[in-house]
Amino acid sequence: MYRSGSPLYEHNIGHSKFTSTGAPWELKYKKEYATLLAAKEYERRMKKMKSRKYIKDLIGML
């Protein structure tokens, strides 16, 4: 189980209306960054792609 307060935990308990419809969510990709700012910048770039194919290709590279 994921720790209370983690984004994945929050999605799965229905904290967000938008993500609650897809529960249960699973972690498919994880990457560590030196700083929170670097992680948020990467997340913003990835979300900007707005492409399911891009994300599936990214996960498939693992």
Q: What is the DSSP string of 38-56?
A: HHHHHHHHHHHH--HHHHH
The 10s digit of each residue's pLDDT in 41-50 is 988 888 888 7
Q: Which helix (H) or strand (E) holds 25?
A: none
The answer to whether the Cα torsion of 62, 15, 23, 48 is positive or negative is: negative
pTM for this model (two decimals): 0.56
Instruction: State the pLDDT at residue 61.
Output: 66
pLDDT band at 19 (very low <50, low <70, confident <90, very high): confident
* Amino acid letter, residue 44: R
